[in-house]
Amino acid sequence: MDQVTQSNAASAEESAAAAEEMNAQADALRNAVADLLQLAGGHQKSIEPAAPKPEKFATQSKPKTRPAAKSAHSNGGGPLKQAMPDPAILKPKAGRQTAPEAVTDGFRDF
């Protein structure tokens, strides 16, 4: 009877620890999604990031945070346009062509 009680108590403690860890991961994911939405300008409605909760256990680790990346938007109106290279530069040069057999002779089968 004692073993069953101890087993149940251990299972309950493991379940509580797993639930707390999942809550911490959900908060971290919620914050990451809010940051991504802010960077992408997806929603006008702001999503409040989850407030950090005090740690109850010394073994629980906080997620590492990074500074938010700067937006490529100059005035919030959309992404900056990049200059496209001249199409003549993108075309392959005519002339010397190499057969695939000449290049693959040195390869071995793994």
Residue range(s) defining the domain that contains residue 47 = 2-66
State the virtual CA torsion across 47, 53, 57, 62 in degrees, nearest 10: 50
Could you give the dihedral angle defined by the CA atoms of residues 79, 85, 91 and 95, in that order, rounded to the nearest 10 degrees? -150
Q: Establish if 10 belongs to a structural domain.
A: yes
Distance in angstroms (rounded) separating the CA atoms of residues 97 and 47? 56
Residues in contact with 17: Cβ distance below 8 Å, sequence separation at least 6, in sequence order: 57
pLDDT score, position 105: 64
* Average pLDDT for runs of 10 along the chain of length 110: 91 96 96 91 62 61 56 56 66 68 65
**Whole-number pLDDT of residue 89:** 65
Question: Which pLDDT value is given to residue 43?
Answer: 57
- Does 89 map to a domain? no
Q: Is residue 41 part of a domain?
A: yes
Number of independent structural domains in the chain: 1
Is residue 84 a part of any domain in this protein?
no
Examine residue 13 and state whether it is found in any structural domain, yes or no.
yes
pLDDT at 99: 72
Distance CA 42, CA 34 (A): 10
User: What pLDDT is recorded for position 63?
Assistant: 54
